[in-house]
């Protein structure tokens, strides 16, 4: 029975969380359990409650965005609501007007309703989340915005749903930066995590590479050949200002911000062609050398605590992933499978590193514990998969793949399920970097 299923889920959760009695502490989704079942949720098309016609079909589009978000999270089973309410106008959106039996009969344990009104370019959306078993409200929000903010508002409420049911925020308001090639140039672009609102943020008319978000999400570091040498630049997203921060002889490449945002680890080759990793103090421009080996060292990524970096080195002959503890300068190799492992990204929770490994003639995405155990392959037999980057909650990974015939940006859950192309349009897209939480 549906009701008993939800109740047992609640009991399990309250035992785990140990906050019985408080309505606010109800945890509907036990996101820590590997055996969690997907919560059945219905998100019927929203109602137009205003006096103006919804010519852009915003009500239906917003509900579709929320459905997509919840499905992507992997914690929900989004029910087909069309059987229940082919006419959204006839079904209610509040506790008293909702026809509860019709939702119980399809097995919904949670329900999202929405009413919107459009007035010229203005949009008001009243969005609600209900416990469909207890038939009570969990959270409701009224949003004011412009019609073009409809997706944004829907993502905000998806985050609200996730926070209320799972106890933490999800990625629905995050963005992804990437390289986009067009004709002879490559510029840096940003899009929403689901591929919407893509925009090019650099106009260097040159090759731009390796976008890296500052931890506060306000700046992006990248390499550009705009001045004839691969130099390091920082773009301030609010002011639009671009500043060059490293212009050494040789390469100034593969930036990674330290977790406190004060330093950028990068690769310099200086006079001798030997790539080493340095930490650049963003304010003073002082440099500290971090690696010291005659082989290539490149592509650093910081541990979330800022006390170590992982990087690629060819010191054992072929490129492999190594860890460097900054205090003791102790280096240890962590990848031993395969002969070409690159592009490491340290997980936000600190225990895993995702990377791209060459396999036969192609590349796949792998994840490994930082102690070198639990090596796991996430992509299989689908083109060339590279440049993985964690979402800020550690539940997703973005990567580039040419499985569709050209390089596009994909996202997947951190266990490799739910792989989905999110970019589109002209041009090859590579090297995605998932933003931190932006609010």
Residue from 431, 432, 433, 434 touching other proteins (CB under 8 A): that is 431
Residue from 56, 80, 286, 371 touching other proteins (CB under 8 A): that is 286
CB 26 within 8 A of CB 166: no
Instruction: Give the footprint of other proteins on residues 332-371 (CB under 8 A).
Output: 340, 342-343, 356, 358, 361, 363
Q: Where are the beta strands (DSSP E) in 89-169?
A: 110-119, 122-131, 136-146
From the list 39-47, 120-128, 161-169, 229-237, the region that binds other proteins by CB under 8 A is 229-237
CB 88 within 8 A of CB 45: yes
Residue from 170, 296, 335, 389 touching other proteins (CB under 8 A): that is 296
From the list 79-87, 145-153, 249-257, 408-416, the region that binds other proteins by CB under 8 A is 249-257
Residue from 164, 275, 364, 398 touching other proteins (CB under 8 A): that is 275
- Which element (helix H / strand E) includes 421? strand 420-421
Partners of 79 in the β-ladder: none
Query: Is 140 one of the binding residues for other proteins (CB under 8 A)?
Result: no
Query: From CA 85, how far away is CA 63, in angstroms rounded?
Result: 13
Query: From CA 50, how far away is CA 56, in angstroms rounded?
Result: 14
Query: From CA 266, how far away is CA 249, in angstroms rounded?
Result: 14
Which CB, 227 or 415, lies closer to other proteins? 227
Q: Which two tokens stand for residue 389?
A: 């980057």
Q: Which two tokens stand for residue 90?
A: 């006839």
Q: How far is CA 394 from CA 63, 304, 437, in A?
A: 26, 12, 11
Shortest approach of other proteins to residue 248 CB, angstroms? 6
From the list 9-17, 19-27, 53-61, 271-279, the region that binds other proteins by CB under 8 A is 271-279
Q: State the binding string over 314-333 for other proteins (x if CB under 8 A, else -).
A: ----xx--------------
Query: Is 224 one of the binding residues for other proteins (CB under 8 A)?
Result: no
Query: From CA 134, how far away is CA 286, in angstroms rounded?
Result: 60
Instruction: Give the footprint of other proteins on residues 1-60 (CB under 8 A).
Output: none
The residue whose two tokens read 């589109």 is: 424
Shortest approach of other proteins to residue 386 CB, angstroms? 7
# binding residues, other proteins (CB under 8 A):
54
Residue from 93, 158, 224, 267 touching other proteins (CB under 8 A): that is 267
Residue from 36, 201, 270, 331 touching other proteins (CB under 8 A): that is 270
Residue from 248, 352, 395, 429 touching other proteins (CB under 8 A): that is 248
Instruction: Give the footprint of other proteins on residues 391-430 (CB under 8 A).
Output: 430
Query: From CA 114, how far away is CA 62, in angstroms rounded?
Result: 9
Residue from 386, 393, 403, 408 touching other proteins (CB under 8 A): that is 386
Collapsing DSSP states into helix, strand and coil, what is residue 422? coil
Q: Which two tokens stand for residue 4?
A: 């008993």
Residue from 21, 34, 120, 228 touching other proteins (CB under 8 A): that is 228
Shortest approach of other proteins to residue 69 CB, angstroms? 31
The full 3-state SS of 300-333, as one line of letters, equals EEECCCCCEEEEEECCCCCCEEEEEECCCCEEEE
Shortest approach of other proteins to residue 363 CB, angstroms? 8
From the list 49-57, 102-110, 187-195, 296-304, the region that binds other proteins by CB under 8 A is 296-304
Crossing angle for the helix pair 58-73 and 150-166, to the nearest 10 degrees? 40
Query: From CA 362, how far away is CA 250, in angstroms rounded?
Result: 29
Category of 323 on φ-ψ map: left (φ > 0), alpha (ψ -120 to 50) or beta:
beta
CB 231 within 8 A of CB 209: no
Shortest approach of other proteins to residue 280 CB, angstroms? 10
Strand order from edge to edge, sheet including 208-213: 208-213, 219-224, 231-236, 242-246
Which CB, 161 or 234, lies closer to other proteins? 234
From the list 8-16, 128-136, 144-152, 263-271, the region that binds other proteins by CB under 8 A is 263-271
List residues near other proteins by CB under 8 A: 186, 207, 209-210, 225, 227-231, 243-244, 247-254, 267-275, 284-289, 292, 296-299, 312, 318-319, 340, 342-343, 356, 358, 361, 363, 386-387, 430-431
């Amino acid at each position: 029975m549906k009701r008993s299923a939800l109740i047992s889920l609640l009991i399990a959760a309250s035992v785990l969380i140990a906050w019985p009695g408080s309505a606010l502490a109800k945890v509907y989704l036990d996101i820590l359990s590997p055996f969690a079942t997907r919560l059945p949720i219905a998100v019927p098309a929203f109602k137009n409650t205003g006096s103006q016609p919804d010519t852009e079909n915003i009500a239906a589009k917003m509900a579709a965005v929320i459905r997509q978000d919840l499905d992507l999270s992997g914690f929900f089973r989004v029910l087909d609501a069309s059987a229940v309410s082919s006419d959204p106008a006839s079904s209610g959106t509040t506790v008293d007007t909702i026809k509860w039996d019709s939702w119980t009969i399809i097995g919904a344990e949670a329900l999202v309703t929405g009413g919107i009104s459009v007035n010229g370019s203005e949009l008001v959306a009243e969005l609600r989340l209900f416990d469909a078993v207890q038939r009570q409200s969990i959270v409701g929000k009224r949003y004011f915005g412009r019609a073009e903010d409809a997706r944004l508002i829907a993502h905000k409420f998806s985050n609200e749903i996730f926070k209320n049911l799972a106890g933490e925020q999800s990625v629905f308001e995050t963005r992804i930066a990437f390289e986009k090639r067009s004709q002879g140039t490559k510029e840096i672009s940003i899009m929403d995590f689901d591929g919407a609102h893509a925009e090019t943020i650099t106009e260097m008319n040159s090759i731009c590479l390796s976008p890296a978000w500052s931890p506060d999400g306000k700046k992006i570091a990248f390499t550009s050949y705009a001045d004839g040498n691969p130099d390091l630049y920082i773009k301030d997203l609010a002011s639009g200002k671009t500043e060059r921060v490293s212009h050494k002889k040789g390469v100034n490449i593969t930036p990674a911000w330290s977790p406190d945002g004060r330093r950028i680890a990068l690769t310099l080759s200086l006079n001798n062609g030997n790539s080493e990793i340095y930490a650049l103090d963003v304010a003073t421009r002082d440099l500290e050398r971090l690696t010291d080996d005659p082989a290539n060292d490149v592509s650093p990524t910081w541990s979330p605590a800022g006390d170590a970096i992982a990087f690629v080195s060819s010191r054992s002959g072929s490129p492999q992933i190594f860890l460097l503890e900054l205090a003791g300068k102790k280096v240890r190799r962590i990848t031993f499978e395969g002969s070409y492992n690159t592009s490491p990204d340290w997980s936000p929770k600190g225990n895993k590193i995702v990377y791209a490994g060459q396999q036969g003639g192609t590349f796949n995405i792998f994840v490994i514990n930082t102690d070198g155990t639990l090596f796991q392959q996430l992509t299989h037999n689908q083109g060339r998969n590279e440049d993985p980057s964690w979402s800020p909650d550690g539940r997703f990974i973005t990567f580039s793949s040419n499985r569709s015939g050209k390089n596009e940006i994909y996202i997947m859950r951190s266990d490799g399920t739910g792989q989905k192309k999110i970019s589109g349009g002209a041009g090859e897209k590579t090297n995605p970097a998932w933003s931190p939480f932006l609010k």
